[in-house]
Amino acid sequence: MSKKNVYIGALGIGGNFPVRVESMLRTPLADIKACMTELTGLEREGCELVRVAFPDPGSAKNLSRLISLSTVEIMADIHFDHRLAIGAIDAGCRSIRINPGNMGGRKKLKELSDLVVEREVLVRIGANAGSLSSSQVERAGRDIAKALSDTVSEQVFALQDNGVDRIIISAKSSSPQVTLKANTFLASKFQYPIHAGLTEAGPTERGIIKSSVALGTLLGAGIGDTIRVSLTGRATDEVKAGKRILQALGIRRFEPELISCPACGRRRVDVAFLVELIEPLLKELSPETTVAVMGCEVNGPREAAGADIGVAGTPAGIMLFSRGESRGVCRLEDLSETFLSLCREGGLLR
């Protein structure tokens, strides 16, 4: 991950800090009640940074209220008007997302930069492939990834010239290949933290698959300090997906690991049904726990011998096992109670 640490309030990003999971409110600031409902759901899901669109100065009062009520840091998303960025900072926002190139010229960017430095505000530079001008693309030889990284570099230099050094950089495309290439270049050039993700990744299943490919590759290469899985759907789904990508890569651990077999002709039980029965119980367990749900005694304690606790179908009923050793058999209707009892005995509960 990046070598430079930055802070949004008490939230540390980059360096030795964990890779942060973020999302963005779908609700306009004009509807503050709905904003708070959505924000509460994100907080409950474990979101660590929430971006909110700030399109007009009339929303400043609601932005200020949102910031004051939130336990999660808020980043204001600004476009085309440096006065909106100033308004967001005056409303109490400790981080803003801007494109320095569309802040109205050098004089206006300097005015904003002076306030950013004075208030110790973090600036995220955001460049998306869809917002590149034709001249930027032509200068890069029509290489979109190069155009993205060149644009972000120009924006970084513009802020640095104005004394701003609390920076996160971001270069996004809906193409995993373009996103990978642009961010790989930026990571080799700058020590600032990188916000990683695809833009317009798509609806839930498609978006998660594309984002997993891109984020898995970047994070596996040590690139990325905050992530967002941008989905057409609920913001909470973005947070769930982001956390599970990080957990699958072994970068962070948020919840018990659940492994289950795909089922085959040897199965002694409906594996999908068994998963539905066990999955709600995971919230009772320590995040470090590994749970296995297997269809038969062959795939049970043998193939899932590494599981702290597991269940498998057998001719005699549901077998429970731990670390490859059988812990008895129970009826399906008694499984939840027996499962939690064994977890309690084994010190696996939260």
Residue with tokens 């409902």: 37
The pLDDT of residue 300: 82
Domain boundary among 213, 248, 283: 248
The pLDDT of residue 137: 87
Task: Report if residue 1 sits inside a domain.
Answer: no
Q: What mean pLDDT is predicted for residues 196-209?
A: 92
Q: Which residues, at least 6 apart from 116, have a Cβ–Cβ distance to it below 8 Å?
A: 89, 96, 123, 164, 166
Q: Which residues pair with 321 in a beta bridge?
A: 310, 326
The pLDDT of residue 297: 83
Task: Report if residue 190 sits inside a domain.
Answer: yes
Residue with tokens 């010190």: 347
Query: pLDDT per residue over 338-347, tens digit each?
Result: 999 999 999 9
- Examine the pLDDT at 126 and tell me if it is beyond 90: no
- Cα angle 171-173-176, degrees, rounded to a multiple of 5: 105
Q: Which residues, at least 6 apart from 285, have a Cβ–Cβ distance to it below 8 Å?
A: 256, 291, 343, 348, 349, 350
Query: pLDDT per residue over 138-195, tens digit each?
Result: 998 999 999 999 999 999 999 999 999 999 999 999 999 999 999 999 999 999 999 9
Q: Do 130 and 159 reside in the same domain of the chain?
A: yes
pLDDT averaged over the chain? 94
Q: Do 32 and 100 reside in the same domain of the chain?
A: yes
pTM summary value: 0.93
Task: Report if residue 32 sits inside a domain.
Answer: yes
The pLDDT of residue 109: 92
- Examine the pLDDT at 128 and tell me if it is beyond 90: no
| Domain count along the chain | 2
Q: What mean pLDDT is predicted for residues 211-218?
A: 96
Q: What percent of the chain has pLDDT over 90?
A: 86
Q: Do 234 and 270 reside in the same domain of the chain?
A: no
Q: Do 318 and 223 reside in the same domain of the chain?
A: no
Q: How far apart are the first and last CA of the chain?
A: 30
The pLDDT of residue 28: 96
The pLDDT of residue 136: 87
